[in-house]
C-alpha cells in the first residue's frame, strides 16, 4: 500500500498507509491530520490543503496545473518552490511513498 | 458550561473545531440528523457524478478528530425542541441536553416542486450522499435527462449528464440562468457555454407536470409552454429553504432564515445561528442576507466560536463562491446585485475572463471563469476595502493581480 508521511511544524511525523489513488488531502482529512483543512472538498478552490513536498519526491509529482499555480499564490503560509495543493497529488504506482511538511497555517 | 451544536455540516464542525482551537475546554456536543460521519457536500454535484467519479464520501473531519478533541458526535439524531427557560434541547432519541450556549447550524433543505408527477420514480433531487448515489447509479443508463432549474446545482448536474452522453434539457422559468447569483453578462455567457456543450437550455419555461410510463416511472416532462420532453431521469434543482422550524417553535425571530445580529446571536443571547440557515446583517451588501456557501459556513463558524468566548467584533468576511460546470470553473468574490455597472476584463471567447461589478463608483464583486488569479486578487482587494473605480479598471494594462500586489506591498 502506498504511504504518506505528514510532518508537523513541530517535527512530529505521522505515516499513513492509503489505497492507491488517494489524494494527500483526502488521506489527511480522513485521518484527522492537523493542519490540512481541505475546505472546498478537493476542487483546488480554497488553498487550505497547502503542503511542502520533500525535494526527493519532486520528480514523481504530476506537473503543476495552471489553476493550482494561481491558487498557490493565495496560501496562508508562505509559498515556496516546494509548495503544492494536497488535493492535486495522488499516491499511486509512480508515487508509492511521499513525505510532506505541513505549513504553520491554512486559513 | 457546555455548547450544543445542532447540525452536521461544514459550519457545525467548524464551530466545534474553532472552539477547541481557541482554548474552550468544556463539553461540546454535535447533534447531526444524518447518520454516519459528517461529509463534504460540494463534491457531490461535481466530481462524484463525472463518468470517472465515485461517490465515496469525503469526511469533513476524520473519525479520530472527535475523540482527539473531546467532541461528542450524536449522529442520526435530530433536535426536536428547545426549552429556552431551562436551556435544554430535546432529542429524537428521547434524551435531552442542557446547554450554556446553543448553536443552530440547521442548514437548508431542497425546495420541492408541487406539480403532477413530481413524486414519480426517476424524479430526483440532489443534496445528500444517498441522493448522489442514486443519481450515480441511474446516469449510465439514462438517455434523456430533464433538469428543472438552471441554478448552480442544476447546471453542474447538466454538465455531468452531458459528460455521460445523455441528451439534456434544462427548464428555467427565469429569463437567464443563475439569475439570482450572477450578473447579466456572466449569466448570458454561461447560457451560451452550456448550449455549446450540447445542453438544450429552455429559458422563460417552467415545469407543468411529469408523465409516467406504464411501470410508474417518469417518461416525459411537460413545460409551462406545453412543450413535451422525453425524460427517463429528472433532476429538480429549484433552490433551498432554510431550516427554521426548531428556532421558530422556540419563539426565536425568523425571516428568510434565523435572524441573527452581527455577532451571529439570535434574539436569545445564549443561542447562535450561522451558515445556510442564518439571516445576518451583511456589511458587503445593503440590508440582511442569507448565504448558501462553504465560505459563509466556515468563516461564520470561526467568528461564532469567538462570539461564544466573548469577542464582540462584527462578522465582516467577504463572501466568495465557486461552481464547476463541465470545463468551466466559476469563482465569485463579493455579492453582485441587480443594477451593478459591469465591465468585462479579458476575452470571453477564450473562456478565461472576469466580470467586474461596480456599485456606487467602486468595485463590489468580481465573477471569474477559469481565472483563479483574478478571483484571488479580487478577494484581497474587495476584502481590504480597496476603492477601485470603473475608470481605473478601464485603463490600458489594468490587471486585478497587479493591483492586489500594490496593496500587499503597501501593508
Q: Does the pLDDT at position B127 exceed 80?
A: yes
Residue of B nearest to A75 (CA): B376
Residue with cell 471569474: B368
Residue A103 reports pLDDT greater than 60: yes
The answer to whether residue B148 scores a pLDDT higher than 90 is yes
Q: Select from B32, B171, B46 the least CA-distant residue to B107.
A: B32
Q: What is the per-residue pLDDT across B322-379, written as a single tens digit (0 to 9) for each?
A: 999 999 999 999 999 999 999 999 999 999 999 999 998 899 999 999 999 999 999 9
Interface test with B, best of A26, A41, A107 (most B CBs within 10 A): A41
Q: What pLDDT is recorded for position B411? A: 42
Look up residue B187 and give its DSSP letter.
H
Give Cα separations from B277 to B248, B252, B367 (angstroms).
Answer: 12, 13, 25
Interface residue A74 vs chain B (CB under 8 A): yes
CB A23 within 8 A of CB A89: yes
Residues B62, A39: C-beta atoms closer than 8 Å: no
Q: Provide φ and ψ at B342, rounded to 5°.
A: -110, 150
Residue among B58, B376, B379 minimizing CB distance to A26:
B58
Domains and CATH numbers, chain A: 3-101 (3.10.20.30)
Closest-CA distance, B42 to chain A, in angstroms, reads 6
The ipTM assigned to this model is 0.88
> By the 8 A CB rule, do B266 and B253 touch?
yes
Q: In terms of C-beta density within 10 A (0-12 exposed, 13-18 middle, 19 or more buried), how is residue A4 classed?
A: buried
Is A79 in the B-facing interface, judged by CB distances under 8 Å? no
**Residues for chain B: how many in total?**
411
Instruction: Find out whether B168 and B200 touch, Cβ atoms under 8 Å.
Output: yes
Q: What are phi and psi of B383, to 5 degrees?
A: -60, -35
For A32, nearest residue in chain B (alpha carbons): B62
Q: Which residues of B touch A20 (CB under 8 A)?
A: none
CB spacing of B322 vs A45 below 8 angstroms: yes
Reported as type and span, the H/E element at residue B335 is: none
Mean pLDDT along residues B308-319 = 97
Are B196 and B351 in contact by the 8 Å Cβ rule? The answer is no
Cβ atoms B160, B332 nearer than 8 A:
no
Cα–Cα dist B362/B384, whole Å: 13
Contacts of B325 in chain A (CB under 8 A): none
Q: Inspect the interface and report whether the beta carbons of B59 and A74 lie closer than 8 Å.
A: no
CB atoms within 10 A of CB B360: 7
Helices (H), B287-343: 294-308
pLDDT tier at B409, thresholds 50, 70, 90: low
Residue with cell 439570535: B266
Residue of B nearest to A47 (CA): B376
Give the residue among B238, B235, B205 at the shortest CA–CA distance from B222.
Answer: B205
Three-class SS state of A3: strand
A contacts of B41 (beta carbons < 8 Å): 41
**Could you give the domains of chain B?**
2-109+241-308 (3.50.50.60), 112-236 (3.50.50.60), 327-410 (3.30.390.30)
Average pLDDT over residues B268-276: 98
- Contact indicator for A86, A24 with CB cutoff of 8 Å: yes
Whether B173 contacts B206, CB under 8 Å = yes
Compute how many other C-beta atoms are within 10 angstroms of the C-beta atom of residue B211. 15
Q: Answer whether residue B410 shows pLDDT above 60.
A: no
Closest by CA to B183, choosing from B340, B371, B379, is B340
Q: Is B311 helix (H, G, I), strand (E, B) or coil?
A: coil
The band of A107, judged by pLDDT with boundaries at 50, 70 and 90, is: confident
- Looking up cell 468566548 gives B309
Report chain B's mean pLDDT, rounded to a whole number.
95
What is the least distance, in Å, from the CA of A91 to any CA of chain B? 17
Look up residue B278 and give its three cell numbers.
442564518
How many degrees, rounded to 5, is the angle at CA B15 between CA B331 and CA B129? Answer: 60
Q: How many CB atoms lie within 10 A of CB B12?
A: 27
Q: If DSSP codes are grouped into helix, strand and coil, which group holds residue A71?
A: helix
Residue B335 CA to residue B150 CA, distance in Å, equals 19
Mean pLDDT of B257-271: 98
* Rounded CA separation B15/B19 (Å): 6
Amino acid at each position: 500500500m502506498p504511504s504518506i508521511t505528514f510532518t508537523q511544524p513541530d517535527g512530529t511525523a505521522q505515516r499513513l498507509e492509503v489505497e492507491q489513488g488517494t489524494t494527500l488531502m483526502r488521506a489527511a482529512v480522513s485521518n484527522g491530520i492537523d493542519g490540512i483543512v481541505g475546505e472546498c472538498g478537493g476542487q483546488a478552490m480554497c488553498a487550505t490543503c497547502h503542503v511542502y513536498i520533500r525535494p526527493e519526491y519532486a520528480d514523481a509529482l504530476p506537473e503543476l496545473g495552471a489553476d493550482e499555480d494561481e491558487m498557490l499564490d493565495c496560501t496562508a503560509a508562505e509559498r515556496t518552490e516546494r509548495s503544492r495543493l494536497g488535493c492535486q497529488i495522488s499516491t499511486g504506482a509512480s508515487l508509492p511513498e511521499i513525505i510532506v511538511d505541513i505549513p504553520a497555517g491554512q486559513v | 458550561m457546555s455548547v450544543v451544536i445542532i447540525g452536521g455540516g461544514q459550519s457545525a464542525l467548524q464551530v466545534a473545531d474553532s472552539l477547541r482551537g481557541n482554548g474552550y475546554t468544556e463539553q461540546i456536543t454535535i447533534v447531526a440528523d444524518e447518520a454516519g460521519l459528517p461529509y463534504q457536500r460540494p463534491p457531490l454535484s461535481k466530481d462524484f457524478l463525472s463518468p470517472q467519479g465515485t461517490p465515496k464520501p469525503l469526511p469533513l473531519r476524520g473519525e479520530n478528530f472527535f475523540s482527539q478533541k473531546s467532541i461528542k458526535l450524536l449522529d442520526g439524531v435530530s433536535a426536536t425542541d428547545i426549552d429556552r427557560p431551562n436551556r435544554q434541547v430535546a432529542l429524537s432519541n428521547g434524551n435531552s441536553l442542557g446547554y450554556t450556549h446553543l448553536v443552530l447550524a440547521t442548514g437548508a433543505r431542497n425546495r420541492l416542486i408541487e406539480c403532477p408527477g413530481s413524486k414519480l420514480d426517476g424524479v430526483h433531487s440532489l443534496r445528500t450522499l444517498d441522493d448522489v448515489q442514486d443519481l450515480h447509479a441511474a446516469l449510465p443508463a439514462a438517455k434523456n435527462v430533464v433538469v428543472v432549474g438552471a441554478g448552480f446545482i442544476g447546471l453542474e448536474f447538466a454538465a455531468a449528464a452531458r459528460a455521460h452522453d445523455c441528451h439534456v434539457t434544462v427548464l428555467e422559468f427565469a429569463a437567464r440562468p443563475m439569475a439570482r447569483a450572477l450578473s447579466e453578462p456572466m449569466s448570458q455567457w454561461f447560457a451560451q457555454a452550456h448550449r455549446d456543450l450540447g445542453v438544450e437550455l429552455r429559458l422563460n419555461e417552467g415545469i407543468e407536470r411529469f408523465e409516467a410510463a406504464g411501470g410508474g416511472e417518469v417518461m416525459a416532462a411537460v413545460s409551462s409552454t406545453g412543450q413535451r420532453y422525453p425524460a427517463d431521469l429528472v433532476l429538480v434543482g429549484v433552490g433551498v429553504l432554510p431550516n427554521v422550524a426548531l428556532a421558530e417553535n422556540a419563539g426565536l425571530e425568523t425571516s428568510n432564515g434565523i435572524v441573527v445580529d452581527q455577532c451571529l446571536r439570535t434574539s436569545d443571547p445564549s443561542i447562535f445561528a450561522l451558515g445556510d440557515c442564518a439571516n445576518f446583517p451583511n456589511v458587503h451588501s445593503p440590508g440582511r442576507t442569507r448565504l448558501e456557501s462553504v465560505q459563509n459556513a466556515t468563516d461564520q463558524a470561526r467568528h461564532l466560536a469567538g462570539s461564544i468566548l466573548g469577542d464582540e467584533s462584527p462578522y465582516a468576511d467577504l463572501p466568495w463562491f465557486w461552481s464547476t460546470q463541465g470545463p468551466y470553473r466559476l469563482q465569485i468574490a463579493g455579492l453582485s446585485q441587480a443594477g451593478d455597472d459591469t465591465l468585462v476584463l479579458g476575452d470571453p471567447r477564450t473562456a478565461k475572463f472576469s466580470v467586474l461589478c461596480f456599485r456606487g463608483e467602486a468595485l463590489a464583486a468580481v465573477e471569474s471563469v477559469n481565472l483563479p488569479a483574478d478571483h484571488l486578487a479580487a478577494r484581497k482587494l474587495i476584502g481590504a476595502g480597496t476603492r477601485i473605480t470603473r475608470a481605473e479598471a478601464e485603463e490600458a494594462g489594468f490587471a486585478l493581480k497587479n493591483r492586489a500586489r500594490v496593496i500587499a506591498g503597501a501593508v
